[in-house]
Structure 1
Amino acid sequence: MITLNSERGLVRIASWDDIESVPGFTADIDPKTVKLKEIIGSYTFDALIPCGLSTCHQPHGNGFLVAAADGRVTNIGRICGKKHFDVEFTQMSRVFLAAVRAQQNREFLGELKHRLPNITAEVAAFKAGEWGAAWINTRINQLTGKSGSLPTPIVNAVRQAVRRGDGALTIQRAATKEEREALAAAADVTGLERRNRISDFVEVQVGQLDGFAALAPGNGLRDVLGAIEPFLATLSEAEIDNLPDKQLRELSKAGSELEPNLERLRTVIGAGKRLLVQQNVQQLSQFATSSAESRLFATFLRDLPN
């Protein structure tokens, strides 16, 4: 692939034949008698291209297209460029590569800006509606104890499921004699060692929360939307062609994170909707320790869809 930096912006060419037909192109320039004017392109090929310097002609796969002061154009590799044109070539290559990166950033941001109405509409759709992002976020905060409105035993059960990392709801109960003996046999211990190492309790799974990902650390919808909406607002107002290099780099970097953040938003919204249904959350009612806690949790349940 060949990338030319022209007055029209970046031009990408797939064929080396197109370069050889460029006015002034020559495959044989004496580096001792030529003065470089600028670097006008770069190339990367699997097939090797002979260097255009008469003192080299060594085949290589990566190099630059250079324009000489006399109007001729040829191709040279980075090593030859530094060897024969020293600091001048190094400075020119930096200017060229910076210009290419800037133009690539502008093209990337321009494509995103073209998609902006659809992206904005998708985000708005996630936020709106009876069971949108704000509704989901509020109830997840209740389940995880951030709002302090649900009974502590139920919140603790949710937190334990979060710590486990698998959404399993578990309880501890006294181990039966048979279970203690089985544990001892499995551990191959007896006597004092057995009393010290074998627990009198066993952990039993009593439920499984669907949509558990919505509860996981880092999946708060406020955080997810906070990584998306400011960028969309900035991109909407940005005059991409007039952005200084620093702002262009920063906005392009933020743009590269947009699609992962959108996918994260889709995942968390989907998980939240699977989580926050009565049949799923009803599993937590077994952790209530009093009738008052049961009534409080029942009020929470009634607000969830069937």
Structure 2
Amino acid sequence: MLYMKENGVLIKLDSWEQVYSRPNFIKDLDLKDKKLKALVGYYKNEPPRKCGIKSCHSSHMKGGIVITEDNFEASIGHMCGSKIFEEKFDVLIKQLEKEVDFEIYKEAVASRKARVFEYWNKAAALTSGKNGVLKLADKILSLRDPLVAGRFAATELARMAANQQTKVTKEVWVEKKKKELTEEEAKSGEKKYRLETVVCGQIKNTEVLLSVNNLNNIYKDDIEAVIHALERLDLQTATPRQIQNIGLAASVLDTRLDTAARLKDLATEFLTYDNLYPMYDKMYSMDTVSRKDLELYETLIKQF
């Protein structure tokens, strides 16, 4: 982004040629014995820009357009400006950076406020039907609740989600092969058994259980609340702080909608009896799992 200040008003420029063509701009300025008069431009996140100081010419990702006291203009990197003009440059660029951020937030708010109707339609698509995100969120919450899903299942599913694990394993007794028998076991002539861990199934999309993927919070806090705020905001009377706060949230609204749609699809696949059954299979033969836990989990997943 590239901004210049004209008569006290920040203007977003499309090209650096608009800077280079200014009558007093010098691409290769010797700043020896020159003093800073003002900061009239700001750039950030541009392709690395060669410093306009004759003694530097390094590329910078962030900096300003300065005016010296003899009215020469130059592009100068942030670090170079701080080194040469010291505190005065730091104060001026921080102030200009705040003004630029405000313009960015205001632009984000205005552009998204014009799309409120579109956003409400997308929100409605997320929440409608039997697999609406809020209904899915309630089901996920029940799987995380030991009193509803049973202590073992709730704990084990949470562990799988945290470890990004999908395979479900259980221990089964298998007959020992001849080469595995001890000398005494071989002499007895009886079959001997050992415990072996085997994969009994796979539970897909366990990541929907993670707190960071909480569909209820994403929808209510990051989508619905933001659309309401955009709808109510009056750009003519809003304070800079209001615009900044809403602008921050509005700038990622499209991303949050996409995230919610992706998680909705994952949760729909996750919340099925067939997908969650392998955990029941694992629990069924475990002496350490209570029958109450088993019944709670079975009852819950049959509802899905």
TM-score higher than 0.5 here? Answer: yes
TM-score by length of 1: 0.66
Show the 5 A alignment for 1:1-306.
Answer: 2-6=2-6, 9-16=10-17, 18-22=18-22, 25=24, 27=26, 36=37, 38-42=38-42, 48=50, 50-51=52-53, 59=57, 64-66=64-66, 72=71, 74-75=73-74, 77=76, 88-146=88-146, 148-150=147-149, 152=150, 156-157=152-153, 159-164=155-160, 165=163, 166-174=165-173, 176-178=175-177, 181=180, 201-228=195-222, 229-240=224-235, 242-283=237-278, 286=281, 287=283, 300=300, 303-304=303-304
- Structure 1: runs of 5 or more not aligned: 185-198
- Aligned 8 A contact 2:148 2:297 in 1: no
Task: Please identify, of 83-92 and 200-209, the stretch whose mean Cα deviation from structure 2 is larger.
Answer: 83-92
| Count of matched residue pairs | 279
- Structure 2: runs of 5 or more not aligned: 183-192
| Distance across 2 between alignment mates of 1:233 and 1:118 | 13
| Distance across 2 between alignment mates of 1:248 and 1:67 | 30
| Distance across 1 between alignment mates of 2:133 and 2:262 | 12
**Matching residue's letter, 1:121:** N
| Distance across 2 between alignment mates of 1:57 and 1:218 | 48
TM-score by length of 2: 0.67
**Matching residue's letter, 1:215:** L
- Aligned 8 A contact 1:48 1:61 in 2: yes
**Matching residue's letter, 1:208:** Q
- Aligned 8 A contact 2:3 2:10 in 1: no
Q: Among all aligned residue pairs of Structure 1 and Structure 2, give the percentage whose two residues are the same amino acid.
A: 16
- Aligned 8 A contact 2:51 2:76 in 1: no
Shift of 1:124: 2.4
Root-mean-square deviation (CA, aligned residues, Å) is 4.5
Cα separation, partners in 2 of 1:45 and 1:73, compared to 1, 3 Å: farther
